[in-house]
Structure 1
Amino acid sequence: MHCPQDHEALVPRPRGSLPKVCAGVLAAIAIGGVTCVSPEKVFGWVAMIILMLTLGPLLHAICLLAEEMLYHANTRYRGRGLLSHVLPACGLGGKTLLAAGLAGLLLHLAGNPLPHQGQSWKLLFLASALYALFKSLGVLGPSEVEVSDICEGRKMNVAHGLAWSFYLGYLQLVLPRLEESIAAFRASHQSGSSSWGRGSRKLLILIPLNANISHKLEEEDNNIQFYDNLPNTEINRAGVRGRVYKHSVYRVQDEHGKGRQCVVEYATPLLTMYKMSQESSAGFGEPERRQQVLLFYKTLQDVLEGSLECRNHYTLILLNDELGDDPHYLSKAILRHLQQQEKEEFCLTPPPHQEMVHPFASAPPSAPPSAPSMNGCWHHPEPMSREPTLMFSLEKPQPLKEPVESTDHYQGAK
């Protein structure tokens, strides 16, 4: 399911490469300006600065390596190789070493850019040592944006784990069986089967931004009333024989009292987020919780869109708590999504009473009709009884026939 238009302003988009472009532009402007002032020393200065920026992280990586090798080699790395695991984990990667080596070679070829002999090497060593010190103290640590970018890029957020757990442990199991369960429910409740539209035959998953979930929907909105439960779904799961999964059917009324039946429930992992925000030891405050809820919604949406077995069996409804002053906000949001589902459905066949103008009504009498005539009235062709399919011919293509002249025309002209 695609995100509705009114939710596009809430759901964060993935971070792009604009910081890299800006950094490249700034570096080009700086190098161009220095080249105009001192073209003979620009290569030496660039090489020395690159060497400073790479030697500092290398010295800091050596400090990290000392800690890892002395106290965590067996517990965290389980005896894995030094070169293959420990060194890259500490930051002694190939890119940093290669950049430092190329910068050192360029500085050697360009010569000493400073007026006093040996002054550049002293500056290099001092700057690198101070960088390692400030990095260890956290002064040069990554910003919140950088940490967020790393966690989102590597799928390390709480929201990513909860979304995948919700999908693999619940939705992937029950959604493929949902249509069969709803059909059995409608067969046993004939009186209310008329209010089931196409959108009602999906599982409506509510995702409130504040993650505060009520266990009874009628407590949130009196226009929502519990109707009944769908037949239980029993699945053998993790050693439990016949583990029961169930869904509840609710009757949602609009402002005119007209009711619709649908299967609605909250996304249960949001309870975990809400409880974590209430625990000080979790380090998970209200601003972080809101961001994680949005990431949960986006991740779950992407996962479900790529699942063939769950497709067309769900609807994600993001609830903005800032617009929750209306006591019937929840019922209106549910009905709005149900109506949207109904509008998205279209019929492949024309309506049975649709008037059709025969294409050959104004053609000359010699034109062959395409439909039989009975009692002087044209009858419409039968509507399609099934969905159109693609048909492929295995025969080789034949050449076009050459035009053949009609001799009757010329004989009549003589």
Structure 2
Amino acid sequence: MLPACGLGGKTLLTAGLAGLLLYLAGHPLPHKGQCGKLLVLASVLYALFKSLGVLGPSEVEVSDICERRKMNVAHGLAWSFYLGYLRLVLPHLEDSITKFHATHQANSPFRSRGSRKLLILIPLNANISHKLEDEDDNIHFYDNLPNNEINRAGVRGRVYKHSVYRVLDGDGKAHECVVEYATPLLTLYSMSQESSAGFGEPERRQQVLLFYRTLQDILDHSLECRNRYTLILLKDEHEDDPHVLSKAILRHLQQQEKEEFCLTPPPHQETEHPLSSTPSSLPINNYWHHPDPMSREPTLMFSLERPLPLKEPVENTDDYQGRQ
């Protein structure tokens, strides 16, 4: 942490040399006749600091400047992934799942609302496998969603597709979901393998985290993609577990199912009064009347009749004429 903040060995060595020069100069500040010596000393110290690289920005400052000025590789990749892919396909994801469900209704896929979102996997090490079943044998390829054809950059009917996977839990129950890796991470991983790119493993991990934060911030402000995606950051803390990928996917699916709210009223709302022998709902003029409206949950009632116009005010002058 200290070297990253600019307090490394060079800084300490330069501070020691500066103290030694000030000691040898004999503290020229109190004497008015030694201004020339002070200027020479300041020039020597500046040249010494500059040659040792102490006056340059630290790693933390460089990272902060690049992040604020949007100069990082991950920042550009996140915007490219959003503008060139997610913003195009996510608005059509619900229709594709509906068409897929109509053709696979016997198997009843996508039972939960969470499985109807696009799960985007972002591994911290940027190591992506092209087949999910190669990483976890609890994940099996099921089928592809219907293709989306979009005219893009001069290509007529460019095809965009998503794959459906079945993820098995501990009880062997299958959960269908649309899941894929964030493809820009392939670029980050390839850059770290090229010596000419000057992009090592520490820089790659930092860029993956920045890619995740930037993409999350972009999608949070996107109306086209809202409630249609889930970002899953995969850490490499449990690489020894062969089912770490399926557990991460199932954990997010279960979390989304718990966060759902039932917007439809319960099927049995009307209950009989415990002290009354008559039913709580009686037909009156072909309408059901509830003598105890607080015995059930409130529901919204809409009238199908057309609204009537307001009655215009009618002037009545009989009282005024009678007074005269």
TM-score, structure 2 length as denominator?
A: 0.73
DSSP-derived class of the 1:345 partner: coil
Quick one: structure 1 residues 354 and 328, their matched pair in 2 at CA, closer, same or farther if it must change by over 3 Å?
A: farther
The reply on whether 1:297 has 2:212 as its aligned counterpart is yes
What residue in structure 1 maps to residue 94 of structure 2? 179
2:200 alignment partner in structure 1: 285
State yes or no: 1:196 paired with 2:117: no
| Native 8 Å contact 2:29 2:38 kept in 1 | no
Compute the displacement of 1:378 (Å).
Answer: 9.0
CA drift of 1:299 comes to 0.7
Greater per-residue helix proportion: 1
Distance 1:381 1:300, change over 3 A: closer
2:232 is aligned with 1:312:
no
Alignment: residue pair count:
263
Structure 2: tracts of 5 or more residues without a match: 6-27, 277-287, 303-324
**Residue in structure 2 matched with residue 214 of structure 1 by the alignment:** 129
How big is each residue's C-alpha offset from its partner over 1:55-102, in whole Å with a ceiling of 9 and x where there is no partner? xxxxxxxxxxxxxxxxxxxxxxxxxxxxxxxxxxxxxxxxxxxxxxxx
- Assess if the C-alpha contact under 8 Å between 1:181 and 1:230 holds in 2: yes
What SS class does the counterpart of residue 325 from structure 1 fall into?
coil
- Is 1:115 matched with 2:20? no
Question: C-alpha separation between the residues in 2 aligned to 1:384 and 1:378?
Answer: 14
Q: CA deviation at 1:196?
A: 2.7
The one of 39, 42, 62 equivalent to 1:147 is 62
Contact 2:109–2:176 (Cα < 8 Å) also in 1:
no
Please name the residue that 1:249 is paired with: 164
* 1:372 equivalent among 278, 284, 289: 289
Give, in whole Å, the separation in 2 of the partners of 1:178 and 1:300: 19
Instruction: Please point out which of 243, 251, 255 is paired with 1:328.
Output: 243
Deviation at 1:114, TM superposition (A): 3.5
Show the counterpart of 1:101.
Answer: none
- 2:178 is aligned to 263
How far apart are the structure 2 equivalents of 1:175 and 1:259? 24
Tell me, which stretches of 5 or more residues in structure 1 are unaligned?
1-18, 20-111, 362-370, 387-414
Contact 1:114 1:120 in 2 (8 A): no
CA contact (8 A) 2:270 2:295 kept: no
Q: What one-letter code is carried by the residue in structure 2 that aligns with 1:141?
A: G
Tell me the distance in 1 between the aligned counterparts of 2:140 and 2:269.
Answer: 40
User: How much has 1:237 moved relative to structure 2?
Assistant: 0.9
Identify the residue that residue 83 of structure 2 maps to in structure 1. 168
What SS class does the counterpart of residue 130 from structure 2 fall into? Answer: coil
Deviations 1:185-227 (A, max 9, x none): 1111112225431001100000011110000001011111111
RMSD between aligned alpha carbons?
2.8
Q: Within 5 Å, give how 1:30-69 maps onto structure 2.
A: none
2-side partners of 1:378 and 1:321: how far apart?
A: 55
| Match of residue 312 from structure 2 | none
Please give the per-residue CA displacement for 1:264-288, whole angstroms capped at 9, x wherever unaligned.
Answer: 0000011111111111111111111
The one-character-per-residue Cα deviations of 1:142-167 (angstroms, maximum 9, x if unpaired) are 21111111111212111111111111
CA distance 1:174–1:385, change in 2 (3 Å): farther
**Aligned-pair distance for 1:325?**
1.5
Is the aligned partner of 1:274 residue 2:189? yes
1:131 aligns with 2:46: yes
Question: Aligned residues: percent identity?
Answer: 76
Asked if 1 retains the 8 angstrom alpha-carbon contact of 2:74 and 2:207, the reply is yes
Q: Which amino acid aligns with 2:252?
A: H
Q: State the TM-score, normalizing by the size of structure 1.
A: 0.58
Q: Distance in 2 between matches of 1:282 and 1:243?
A: 31
Report deviation, 1:260. Answer: 1.0
Cα separation, partners in 2 of 1:215 and 1:308, compared to 1, 3 Å: same
Aligned partners of 1:349 and 1:384 also within 8 Å: no
Instruction: Tell me which moved more, 191-200 or 249-258.
Output: 191-200
Deviation at 1:140, TM superposition (A): 2.3
How far did residue 168 of structure 1 move? 0.8
Native 8 Å contact 2:77 2:211 kept in 1: yes
Aligned counterparts of 1:298 and 1:258: Cα–Cα separation in 2 = 33
Query: 1 CA distance for matches of 2:272 and 2:39?
Result: 87
